[in-house]
Structure 1
Amino acid sequence: GDKDWGDYEFTFEAQKIDGAEAFLVLFRVLNDEEFYWYNIGGWGNIQIALEKGVKDRGWGLIGPVVRNNIETGRWYKIVVRCEGAHLTVKLDDKTMLDFTDQTNQHLKGCVGLGTWNTKAQYRNIKVTSLDGKTLFEGLPELKKEQIGTRFWQFYGKGEAQLTEDNPLNSTWCQAITSDADEAGVEQKPFCIRKGEVYNGSLWVRGEAPDGMIVKLLDGDKTIDKAELAASKTDWSEFKFTFRSRVNAKDATLRIGVTGKGTIWLDQVSLMAKNARKVGGYRPDLLKAIADLKPPVIRWPGGCFASPYRWKDGIGPQHKRKVYPREIWDDLDINSYGADEFIRMCKKIGAEPLLVVNIGTKAWNENPNEQEFLQDVLDWIEYCNGPATSKWGKVRAENGHRKPYNVKFWEIDNETWGMGVENYIEAVRKFATAMKKADPTIKLAACGSGGFDLEWNRKMIDGCADVIDYLSIHHYENPDSFAKGPFNYEKFIRQTGELITKSKNPNLKIYCSEWNAQSIDWRTGLYAGGVLNAFERCSDNFEMAGPALFLRHQSATAWNNAFINFDHTGWFTAPNYVLMKLWRDHYAPDRLGIEGDVKGLNVVATKSQDGKKVYFKVVNPSDKEREVNLTLGKGFTVKKASMQIVAPGSLDARNTLKNPDAVKPNKGEVEINGQDVKFKLPSLSAAVVTIKGR
C-alpha cells in the first residue's frame, strides 16, 4: 500500500489452517516501529486486542480486550475502518473494536496481514477510501529472488537455487552453476580484524573441473583467498584459513566456482581464532555476559523452548538437524546446543537451567506424551548420567566424559494455552519421573504471566508438593517505571501468601522472564525498582532472570534486550547498567529500614563479614530528593561513597555510536557521625556504599 493512505476501509477474508493463534491485521503502518495491529486469536487463541507501536518505545496493548476463539478451517470476514483517530474492527459483521486513540495517533499508513506461530490464508483483500474509491485489490506482487537463500546473494554468470536434491543434513542445499569464468554466492557484512586468523569450512558435492575459490573481500579488494577442489559426487568437507592484514567492518565472504561446473553447497562456517580459543563464543559478548556475574542462566527460553528437540543440537555440526522456526520466519541450524550452552555457563561461573519440551499440542505436531517424557529423561541422563549410561556415553563421545551435573530444570515454557488443569497433570507426571531419574535436581513449573493470581493459586494447590520453584513472567509497560515495581511486588507477596499456606511452604518464586519493553532510561529505572522489589520479597522469592538477554540490532521486534549487538560491536541498555551496578554491590543480609521514603524505591543490605552496608535507591519522580540515612547500633560509619546513574531524560539511551550515554558516575556523599547524607536528582538510581570501622 501507500504510506500516505489516511482514512480507509480494509476488508478481507481469513482462514486459520493450523497453529497456536490466528490472524495479525496491520493498518496505518508507517514503518517497523509505528503501526497498529489487531491481534485476532492472540495469547494462545483466547482473546482479541489492539496493539500499537510507537517509535523508540516498542509496542503494547491499547483499547479493550475481547475474549474470543478462532476456529480452524472456518472463513471469517474482517473489516477494519480507520477514520481519523477512530478505529473499528468487525468480525463476521460483529463489532469487536470501537476505539478512539487519544495520544500519538497514527493517521496514515499501509496495511498488512500476518500470523504468529500459525498457518493461515487470506483472500478477497481490498482497501477502499471512505468515499468508495478502490485503493488496492488483490495480492501484492512478490519479487522473485534467484537464489532463495536468506542473507546470501548471487554473483557472476550462471545461476544459484535452493534445492531439495540430496541435502547434507536438512531439507535444502544450495545449487550453484557457473557458465564461465567465476560464479557463486556471497554474504556480508563481516567485521574482520587486522592480525586475526579465521578458520572456515564448507561442505560440497558436485564437479568443478577448474576448482572452487573462497575469498574474503573488503569492497573489491581481496583480503585473503583459498582455492579448493570439488570433483566428488558425495558430500565432502573442505577447510580453509584466512589471515587478515587489514581492518574491514563490512567484509564479504565469497564462495565461487571457477570456470564451468555445478556444485551443491551446505554448512558454511567461518570463525575467528580468538572466538575458538574461548569455546566458539564471541569474546566481547561472552565478557558482557560474564560481567553481570549471573548465578543462573535459563535456556532454551521463551517460545524457542516449547518446540525444541535437544537431540538435534548435539554431536558434529554436519549431523545436527536443521528445521524451520515459523514463529520467526527463520531456520534453526542448531549450532548452539546443550553442550555449547552448558560449557558457556561453566566458563563464566553460572549454573545452567534447562527448559524441557513436554510436547504441548500448540508447538509440536501430533505429540506422544510418553515419547516426550522419555526425551526429557534421556536429556537428564545425557547431562548428569555416568559415562557408562546410554546417554552419558553419547555425551562422552561428544567430548564431555564427566557429568555436567545440571541442577536446575524447568517443565516447559508459558503453558497457559493448554489450560491449568492439563498442565498440572503433566507437571505431576513429568516431575515424578524426572526426580526419580535424578533426585538431586531442582524443578520449576510455569506460573503466571502478568498478574494471573488464579493460575498461581491452582498451580500451588495442584502440584506444589512435586516442584521447587514457581516460574512467573512479567513484562511491564515502560511508562510504568515508577509504580510498576511496587505493583508487581504486591502480586509476588500475594503469591507468596498462597505458598505459605500450601502443602509445600518451602516452594520458591522464580521470575524467569521480566523486563520493561524499551531500551531507554525508563527500563533502567524499572530494572532498579523491580530488583529492589525482588530483594524485599526474599522470604518467598529466590531467583530471577531478564529477557531478552541478547539481541542483534537487525531484529524487528522485542527491542528490550540487556545486551545489544551487531557484527562490529555491542552496547548495554539501561536495564543492564542498573543490574550490573546492583550485582556489583550485592550483599546477602537484608536490613530493616524505618522512616518516610517519600516515594523512593529502596533496599539496604549488609555484607557477610558485616563491614559494608549497601543502600540501593531509585528516585522515579521528577523532583530532586535529599536523603538522610542514620545507621543503627552495631555498625560504626567510617566512610561512604556513591555510584549514581542520572542521564537527565527518560529518552536517554546507549547506542553503538554512543555506548556510554547512560552509565554510573561518582556522586557526592556527606558523613556526620552515624548520618550519611546525599542528594538524588530526579529520575535517578544510585548505590551508596557505607564502610564500617
Structure 2
Amino acid sequence: MIKIKLDIDNQIGKVDKNIFGSFLEHIRDAVYGGVYNTDSNKTDADNFRTDVIEAVNDLSISNVRWPGGNFVSGYHWYDGIGPKENRPQKKELAWNDIESNQFGTDEFMKWCEKADVEPHICVNMGNGTMEEAQNWVEYCNSNDDSYYAALRNKYGRNEPYNVKYWGLGNEIWGEWQIGHKSAEDYTKEAVEYAKVMKRVDPSIELIACGAGFDWNITVLDKLIKDVDYLSIHMYVGNEKYAIGDHQGVIKNEVNDYYNYMSTGELIEKNIQAAKSQIKAVGNKYRLSQDELPKLCIDEWAALHWWGDEEGYQNYEDALVTAMFFNSFINNADFVKMANNLSLFINVQTIFTKENDILLQTVYYPMQLYANYRGNKAVQLNIVDVDNYKHDGREIPYLNCSATVDEEEKKIYLNVVNLNLEKSYSVQIINQNLEINKEVIVREILADDVKAENTFDNKNRVTLEQRVMTISSNNFEFNFAPHSITSLEIKY
C-alpha cells in the first residue's frame, strides 16, 4: 500500500502569499471588456466589472502584474495618465491593436484597491528609457514636492501608491520582443535602471528578467546584489495550443494524456535549474541564502488554446494547474512569487459576456490552493507509489504537496492522482501527532478529463467539500482516478 508520511517538523520554508498572484496585460479582452467595461450593467462608477472583482476576491489573488507582458515593451505610461479625453490613441505593436489608454496607471491602482490586491508593475525596457522608469516610480511612490508626485496630486491622488514590486522588463531575451537585447546588453541597462529606481524609493523590490541557463548566469553575475527576484516564465499547452520554444514547453498536440501530465516533471526541472543558477552565482560572491534573489514565476499557465476561435479550458488543464501549485509549495524556500494568466479574460480562467461570467475548470484548483493552506511547506515522505513510464522515465502517479499552519494546528495535504483509470487507497501516517477524528475533504472531480465548463453548463467541474470521520491517528483515504484532493487535518 502507498504511504504518505507527514512530519510537520520537516519544513521546506514559508509559503509566500505572492505565489497566488495574477497577470493583467493589454491583450484581447483582458482589460477592455474584461476588468474594465463601458458596455455592461455589471460595472461600477469606474467602469470596473464587479463580477470580475468578486471572482478575483474568491481566488485570494495577492498581487497583479501589469501592464505586460509583451505589451509593456512598447508602452509609455505617460500616455495613460491625466484627463481621459486628452489621452492619445496609439497603434500597439506587440499584439497589433489600437491602445486607447483609457486604462492607465491611476485606473490600475484604483482597480487594485477595489480588488484588494497588491500592484506589481513591469517597466518598459524595450523602447522605453531609464528616466521613464525612474519617473514612474516617482509618480507612484514619492510623497514630496517632486514634479511627478505633484502631477499625481494634480490628477486626483494625494497619497502615494507605494508600489513595492517592479519588474525590469519582459522577455527581453526573445526575438519577438520590441527592444530585444542580448544578455550582456540587457544587464548593462538593468543595472542602471535598478540604480535610479531604488534611489527614488529604496524600499522597492526589483525583479530581473530571466530565461535559460546562459542568459541567467550572465544577468545574475552583474545583478545579483541589485535585485530581489529572478523571473522565469512557464507555459504548457493542451491540444490546439501552439507556441515556440518558450523556456521548456510541453505541447499536447497529439492529445496524449500522459504526455501532458508529465508537465509536473518539467515544472520541477525548470525550477531546480533556476535555483541552481542563483546558488552558483551566489556562491561566487559568498552570499548567504537569505541574501540571494528568489524566484518569481511571473507568467505561467496551462493553456488549452491560443487561436482566434472560442475555446475553453478542460479538466486536464485543471490537473496541470494543481501540479504547478504543488511544485511552488515544494520549492517554497525559493519560489516566492508567481503570476498566473488568470486575468487574461476570455483566454484563461475567467470568461465574460456582456452581463455574464464563467469560471473555467482551472479556476477551482487556484481557489483550492490559495484559500485552504498553511503558511509553511512540509517535506513529504511518500513510500511505494506507483509510476508510469514516459520517454523512458518513471513518473509517479501521485503528485503531492503539504503545508502546515502551526497557529491553527492544521495540516493541508494536496494530492493529484494522475492515473486516468485507477484510484489509490493511501495510508496517511501522522508522525508525532494526535489528530482530530474529523477530516475536511475538498475535491475537484470530473467524469471525463475532457470536461469543460461552458456558459450552458457552468458547474460541470467545481470544488466540492465534505467531512470524513476517521477512527485512528493513521488513516486510509481513497484518491479517485484523475482527481485533485486536499485533506484538511486538525491536530
Q: TM-score, normalised by structure 2?
A: 0.78
Is this contact kept in 1: 2:439–2:467, CA < 8 A?
no
- The whole-number CA distance in structure 1 between the counterparts of 2:203 and 2:87 is 30
Q: 1:290 to 1:624 in 2, by over 3 A?
A: same
1:292 to 59, 62, 68: 59
Is this contact kept in 1: 2:411–2:489, CA < 8 A?
yes
Structure 1 gap ranges (5+): 1-116, 118-189, 191-268, 553-558
SS of alignment partner, residue 197 of structure 2? helix
SS of alignment partner, residue 427 of structure 1? helix
- The whole-number CA distance in structure 2 between the counterparts of 1:679 and 1:354 is 44
Q: Does 1:675 align with 2:458?
A: no
Structure 2 gap ranges (5+): 1-26, 28-32, 176-180, 239-251, 253-258, 305-312, 387-395
Q: Which amino acid aligns with 1:462?
A: K
1:382 to 136, 139, 145: 139
Higher share of residues assigned helix: 2
Is this contact kept in 2: 1:648–1:683, CA < 8 A?
no
2:335 to 533, 541, 545: 541
- Corresponding residue pairs, total: 405
Name whichever of 378-387 and 658-667 sits farther off. Answer: 658-667
Q: Counterparts in 2 of 1:350-369, with a 5 A limit?
A: 350-358=117-125, 360=126, 364=127
1:519-544 superposed Cα distances (whole Å, 9 cap, x missing partner): 11111000101110011011111010
SS of alignment partner, residue 462 of structure 2? coil
How far 1:672 moved relative to its partner?
2.7
Is this contact kept in 1: 2:40–2:355, CA < 8 A?
no
Query: What does residue 185 of structure 2 align with?
Result: 422
1:617 to 415, 419, 422: 415
Is this contact kept in 2: 1:312–1:334, CA < 8 A?
yes
How far 1:270 moved relative to its partner?
4.8
Query: What does residue 244 of structure 2 align with?
Result: none
Is this contact kept in 1: 2:444–2:464, CA < 8 A?
yes
Q: Counterparts in 2 of 1:558-597, with a 5 A limit?
A: 559=347, 561-596=348-383, 597=385
SS of alignment partner, residue 401 of structure 1? coil
Q: Counterparts in 2 of 1:418-457, with a 5 A limit?
A: 418-448=181-211, 452-457=212-217
Q: Which amino acid aligns with 1:385?
A: S
Q: Counterparts in 2 of 1:22-421, with a 5 A limit?
A: 270=38, 275-277=43-45, 279-358=46-125, 360=126, 364=127, 372-386=129-143, 388-416=145-173, 417=175, 418-421=181-184
Is this contact kept in 2: 1:551–1:565, CA < 8 A?
yes
1:491 to 267, 270, 279: 270
- The whole-number CA distance in structure 2 between the counterparts of 1:273 and 1:394 is 33
Q: Does 1:602 align with 2:389?
A: no
Q: Which amino acid aligns with 2:203?
A: T
1:326-373 superposed Cα distances (whole Å, 9 cap, x missing partner): 443321111111111112212222211001012x2xxx4xx7xxxx11
Name whichever of 439-448 and 620-629 sits farther off. Answer: 620-629
- The whole-number CA distance in structure 1 between the counterparts of 2:434 and 2:91 is 60
SS of alignment partner, residue 276 of structure 1? coil
Q: 1:608 to 1:352 in 2, by over 3 A?
A: farther
SS of alignment partner, residue 551 of structure 1? coil
- The whole-number CA distance in structure 2 between the counterparts of 1:329 and 1:430 is 28
SS of alignment partner, residue 542 of structure 1? strand
Q: 1:635 to 1:322 in 2, by over 3 A?
A: farther
- The whole-number CA distance in structure 1 between the counterparts of 2:97 and 2:267 is 34
1:649 to 442, 448, 454: 448
1:23-72 superposed Cα distances (whole Å, 9 cap, x missing partner): xxxxxxxxxxxxxxxxxxxxxxxxxxxxxxxxxxxxxxxxxxxxxxxxxx
1:538-574 superposed Cα distances (whole Å, 9 cap, x missing partner): 111101011252323xxxxxx4x11111213121222
How far 1:458 moved relative to its partner?
2.3
1:430-486 superposed Cα distances (whole Å, 9 cap, x missing partner): 1111111110000001112xxx23322222223211111111101113344422122
% identical equivalent positions: 28
How far 1:281 moved relative to its partner?
0.4
How far 1:395 moved relative to its partner?
0.8
Query: What does residue 307 of structure 2 align with?
Result: none
Query: What does residue 297 of structure 2 align with?
Result: 511
Is this contact kept in 2: 1:387–1:402, CA < 8 A?
no
Q: Which amino acid aligns with 1:404?
A: Y
Query: What does residue 30 of structure 2 align with?
Result: none
- The whole-number CA distance in structure 1 between the counterparts of 2:55 and 2:89 is 29
Give structure 1 regions of 4+ aligned residues with deviation exceeding 4 angstroms. 269-274
- The whole-number CA distance in structure 2 between the counterparts of 1:579 and 1:324 is 35
Is this contact kept in 2: 1:457–1:498, CA < 8 A?
yes
SS of alignment partner, residue 393 of structure 1? helix
Q: Which amino acid aligns with 2:317?
A: T
Query: What does residue 521 of structure 1 align with?
Result: 315
- The whole-number CA distance in structure 1 between the counterparts of 2:206 and 2:38 is 38
Is this contact kept in 1: 2:316–2:449, CA < 8 A?
yes
Query: What does residue 124 of structure 1 align with?
Result: none
1:3-34 superposed Cα distances (whole Å, 9 cap, x missing partner): xxxxxxxxxxxxxxxxxxxxxxxxxxxxxxxx
Q: Which amino acid aligns with 1:492?
A: I
Is this contact kept in 2: 1:640–1:676, CA < 8 A?
no
Query: What does residue 629 of structure 1 align with?
Result: 428
2:462 to 663, 669, 672: 663
Query: What does residue 489 of structure 2 align with?
Result: 690
